[in-house]
Chains A and B, each alone.
Chain A
Amino acid sequence: MSDNDLKKYLQAKIKMTVPNKIEDIKSSPEFYVKRSSVTFKNRFRYSFASILILIIATLSIVFKTDDISTIVSLDINPSIMIMLNAKEEVVNLKGNNSDGEELINDLNYNKLNVEEVVEVIMTRALEQDYILDEDIILLGIESDDEELKNSLATKLNEKIKNKMMTKNKNVDVIIEKFASKGNSDELKVSNAKDKIIMELIENSNYTIEDYQVLSQMKIKDLNSMMKENEADEKVEQKNGNNGNSNKSNKPNN
C-alpha cells in the first residue's frame, strides 16, 4: 500500500470535520480588539527609565560641577583669582584688591574658558595702563592635578606673552605652581604673591609685620627687591661678612 492509498483510507474512515465556531465567536461580548495597553514589561521599562532620570538629575544637583578644583591667579598689580571646576570651566572670578575688583567688574565669564577670561583681563589691564613695558606678571596655578597645572601654565603663559607682543610690551611672566591649599582670603593676596612675599621675608630683613605693605607692591618691585637682596648677599659673602647683613631696602610706608 502506497502512502497515497493509506492517506485515502484514513480520510475515508475518519470523517472528522473542524467545527465552525465563527458565529459563536462573533456573538461573544468579548468580540472586540483590545486597545494596545502598556504591558507590564513596558511599564517596567518606563518606570526604570524615569527612576534613572531622577537619579541622574538628583546626582547632577548634588554633585554640581561648580566645585572649584583649580585656581588661576594673576598679579599685575591688580590681583585676580579665576576659579575653575574639574572641567576647566570658569565658575567664579574674584578681585584680591580694589584694582582687581575693578578690572573684573561686569565681566561675564559664563560660557568662557580660562584662556578667554585671561585674554579679556589682559586686554582690560592694558587699556587701563596697569601693564608697562618691562613689567612682570605673576601667574599662579593651584591644583592637585600635576598634568593640568603644567598644561595650564604653558597655555596661559603663551596667551599672556602673545597678547603683550601685540601691544609691543616686553613683559616677563613668573609662574608659580602649587598644590591646592585654599586661597588667602583674609590677606587679600593670591597664593602666588604670598609665596614671593614670604620668600622675601625669609631672605631679607623684612619681617611678617611688613607683609601688609609688601602685599600692596607690584610684582615687578618685589622681584627687583629679591634681586637686590640676592646681589647684596653675594657682595657680603665676598667681603667675608658672615650673614650679619644690614639690608635696608624696606619699602617706604
Chain B
Amino acid sequence: MKEYAIEKLVCELSTGNLDVFDQIYYETKDLVYYVIFNILRNDLKAEELMQEVYLNMLRKVSNYKKKNFSAWIATMARNMAINTYNKEKRISYMDSQEMEFVFKSDSNSDEEYLLNDMRRILNETEFEVVLMHVIGNITHQKISDGLGKPIGTVLWIYNKAMKKLRAGLEVK
C-alpha cells in the first residue's frame, strides 16, 4: 500500500473510525516489530511492546499532523523500545555490547547464533536494515521512511552490510 493510502486511513482513524485499524496494523506491524526487536533483542519483549506501541498510537493519533505515518509510528516504537531497554538496563546492569539475542524456548538455537553473528559483523544500522529487508521483507522505501533516512542511504547501507556478511559469515 502506498504511503498516501495509509495517510488516508490514518486520517479516518483519527476521527474515531476504528474499522480502518486492521489495515493500518497489517501495513505497519513488520516495521514496528523489527524496530523494537533490534533494540530489545528479545522476541517476547518485542511482542509485548508492539501491543503497547499500537495502543499508544491510538492515544496520540488525534494529534497526528499529516506527514509520514510509517516514520511517525517507527519513531514512536523506537522511543518506547529505548525507554524499555534503559529501564531494564538500570535493573539488570546489562552491557549493550554483551547483550545477545534471546528467543522463546521453542525457537531454533541456530537462528540465535546466526543473528548474534550477524550482529557482531554489522553495526546497529546495518543490522537493522538487513533484518528489515531480508527477514521482514520490508521494502527499501518503507525502511527509509521508518528510519528517517534517504532511500539512497538505505540502499548503500544494505549493499555494504551484505558485503560484510559475505565475508564474515564464511558461507559457501
Q: Which residues of A contact B (CB under 8 A)?
A: 1, 3, 6-7, 9-11, 13-16, 18-22, 24-26, 28, 30-37, 39
Complex Cα–Cα for A13 and B110 (A): 7
- Would you mind naming 18 contact pairs between A and B with Cβ atoms under 8 Å apart? A6-B169, A10-B118, A13-B110, A13-B114, A16-B136, A18-B33, A18-B34, A18-B136, A19-B43, A19-B47, A21-B29, A21-B50, A25-B25, A25-B51, A25-B54, A28-B51, A33-B14, A35-B16
Q: Is the CB of A10 within 8 A of B63?
A: no
Contact size range, B: 35 or more
Nearest-neighbour CB distance to chain A for B66, whole angstroms, equals 14
Residues A19 and B50 in contact in the complex (CB < 8 Å), given A6-B171, A11-B135 = yes
Checking B15, B33, B172 against A19 with a beta-carbon cut-off of 8 angstroms, the contacting residue is: B33
Checking A3, A16, A28 against B43 with a beta-carbon cut-off of 8 angstroms, the contacting residue is: A16
Residue B55 lies at the interface, judged by CB distance under 8 Å to chain A: yes
Complex Cα–Cα for A244 and B154 (A): 110
Complex Cα–Cα for A28 and B48 (A): 13
Which chain B residue shows the least CB distance to A13?
A: B114
Checking B30, B47, B62 against A34 with a beta-carbon cut-off of 8 angstroms, the contacting residue is: B62
Q: Is the CB of A28 within 8 A of B165?
A: no
Residue B13 lies at the interface, judged by CB distance under 8 Å to chain A: yes
- CB-CB under 8 A from B60, the residues of chain A are 34
Q: Which residues of B contact A (CB under 8 A)?
A: 13-18, 21-22, 25-26, 29-30, 33-34, 43, 47, 50-51, 54-55, 58-63, 108, 110-111, 114-115, 118, 130, 134-136, 159, 162, 165-166, 169, 171-172
Given contacts A10-B118, A14-B111, A25-B54, 19 further A-B contacts (CB under 8 A): A3-B162, A6-B165, A6-B171, A9-B171, A11-B134, A14-B135, A15-B108, A16-B111, A16-B135, A18-B29, A20-B29, A21-B47, A21-B51, A25-B55, A26-B21, A28-B51, A33-B13, A33-B16, A34-B62
Complex Cα–Cα for A1 and B171 (A): 8
Residues A13 and B55 in contact in the complex (CB < 8 Å), given A3-B162, A6-B165, A39-B63 = no
Complex Cα–Cα for A21 and B118 (A): 27
Q: Is the CB of A10 within 8 A of B135?
A: yes
Complex Cα–Cα for A35 and B21 (A): 16
Q: Is the CB of B18 within 8 A of A33?
A: yes
Q: Is the CB of B50 within 8 A of A33?
A: no
Complex Cα–Cα for A118 and B14 (A): 64
Nearest-neighbour CB distance to chain B for A46, whole angstroms, equals 15
Q: Is the CB of A1 within 8 A of B51?
A: no
Complex Cα–Cα for A9 and B172 (A): 10
Which chain A residue shows the least CB distance to B26?
A: A22
Q: Is the CB of A30 within 8 A of B58?
A: yes
- CB-CB under 8 A from B63, the residues of chain A are 36, 39
- CB-CB under 8 A from A25, the residues of chain B are 25, 51, 54-55
Complex Cα–Cα for A11 and B171 (A): 14
Q: Is the CB of B43 within 8 A of A31?
A: no
- CB-CB under 8 A from B14, the residues of chain A are 33, 36
Q: Is the CB of B111 within 8 A of A31?
A: no
Q: Is the CB of A34 within 8 A of B58?
A: yes
Nearest-neighbour CB distance to chain A for B105, whole angstroms, equals 15
Which chain A residue shows the least CB distance to B17?
A: A33
Residues A1 and B62 in contact in the complex (CB < 8 Å), given A11-B134, A19-B47 = no
- CB-CB under 8 A from B135, the residues of chain A are 10-11, 14, 16
Closest 4 CB pairs of A and B: A36-B62, A18-B33, A19-B47, A33-B16
